[in-house]
Amino acid sequence: MAQSKQLAVEMRGVSKFFGAFQALKAIDLTVETGERIVICGPSGSGKSTLIRTINQLETIQSGTITVDGIELTAGGDNVGKVRREVGMVFQQFNLFPHLTVLQNCMLAPLKTGRANKSSAEATARKYLERVKIPEQADKFPAQLSGGQQQRVAIARALCMEPRIMLFDEPTSALDPEMVKEVLDTMIDLAREGMTMLCVTHEMEFARAVADRVIFMEAGAIIEQGAPEEFFGNPRSERLRNFLGQIA
């Protein structure tokens, strides 16, 4: 099994310190291409830090991270190469408020030389269509609802044609009635075969699309497994408690 599929992400002994505080404790994690991973765990357990090391929004102090065969820590322009393959969606959307929806989606493809103006616009419109808001292209982010903004953020990341998508609690800042439209967009993406690592407490989403659910606590992976196993038969006491709390 291990050699037959290409690895999207391979973490070996990854440790991250903020000053003296250890946020990640020698994490080992492999993600296969096409795999959908959901990461959950209590607040402060290191979930965000973990996925942010994959595109080096956080640097690590020890261990190695290889993304699509590119070793992040090996120097050169490897960080740049990895970032071009990894898209990220944030809890707070982080759309650029001074640019229209269309400009938000076109900026990175244009600036990184991926596309010229007309092909960047065509790509942007294609993905805005995909997330079901093509009619909002010329609006500014502040004119959109939270759910619409998050879907734009997904489209913006997709415009770079990433091979891996990272989601950091993409629905946590949304009003309840908008959670579904964003989850549906993510489910569509998962069905198309995108490799995804999602930090979320939306267990319905995890059951629907996750190949594997990971439970983190205090900077370590405590337990992981397929959703039926993970939710139906949690082995550790701590996971049982956690699932009891969020249910």
Partner 1 sequence: MIRQFGPADILFIIEAVRWTLLLSVIAFVGGAVGGLIVALARSSDSIALRRISAVFIRIFQGTPLLMQLFLFYFGLAVLNLPINPLLAAAVALTFHASAYLGEIWRGSIQAVPTGQLEAATALSLSYRDRMQSVILPQAARIGVAPTVGFLVQLIKGTSLTSIIGFTELTRAGQIVNNATFDPFVVFGLVAVIYFLICWPLSLYARRLEARMRRAFTR
Ligand X SMILES: Nc1ncnc2c1ncn2[C@@H]1O[C@H](COP(=O)(O)OP(=O)(O)O)[C@@H](O)[C@H]1O
Residue selected from 45, 48, 104, 171 as contacting Mg ion according to rule CB under 5 A = 48
- C-beta separation of 167 from 200 below 8 A: yes
Cβ proximity to ligand X: between 24 and 165 the closer is 24
CA distance 160 to 55: 14
Site for partner 1 in 154-183 (CB under 8 A): 156-157, 160
Site for ligand X in 29-88 (CB under 6 A): 41, 43-49
Asked if 172 is part of the footprint of ligand X (rule: CB under 6 A), the reply reads: no
Residue 6 near which of Mg ion, partner 1, ligand X, none (CB within 5-8 Å, type-dependent): none
Tokens of 128: 């805005």
CA distance 42 to 244: 12
Asked if 96 is part of the footprint of ligand X (rule: CB under 6 A), the reply reads: no
- C-beta separation of 151 from 185 below 8 A: yes
Q: What is the DSSP letter of 245?
A: H
Residue selected from 61, 96, 117, 240 as contacting partner 1 according to rule CB under 8 A = 96
Tell me which stretch binds Mg ion (CB under 5 A): 34-42, 44-52, 69-77, 100-108: 44-52
Asked if 143 is part of the footprint of partner 1 (rule: CB under 8 A), the reply reads: yes
Bridging pattern class, strands 70-71 and 62-67: antiparallel
The CA-based dihedral angle spanning residues 80, 82, 86, 92, taken in that order and rounded to the nearest 10 degrees: -50
Asked if 119 is part of the footprint of partner 1 (rule: CB under 8 A), the reply reads: no
Report the amino acid identity of residue 214.
I
Residues engaged in binding partner 1 (CB under 8 A): 55, 57, 80, 83-84, 86-88, 90, 92, 94-98, 107-108, 111-112, 140, 142-143, 153, 156-157, 160
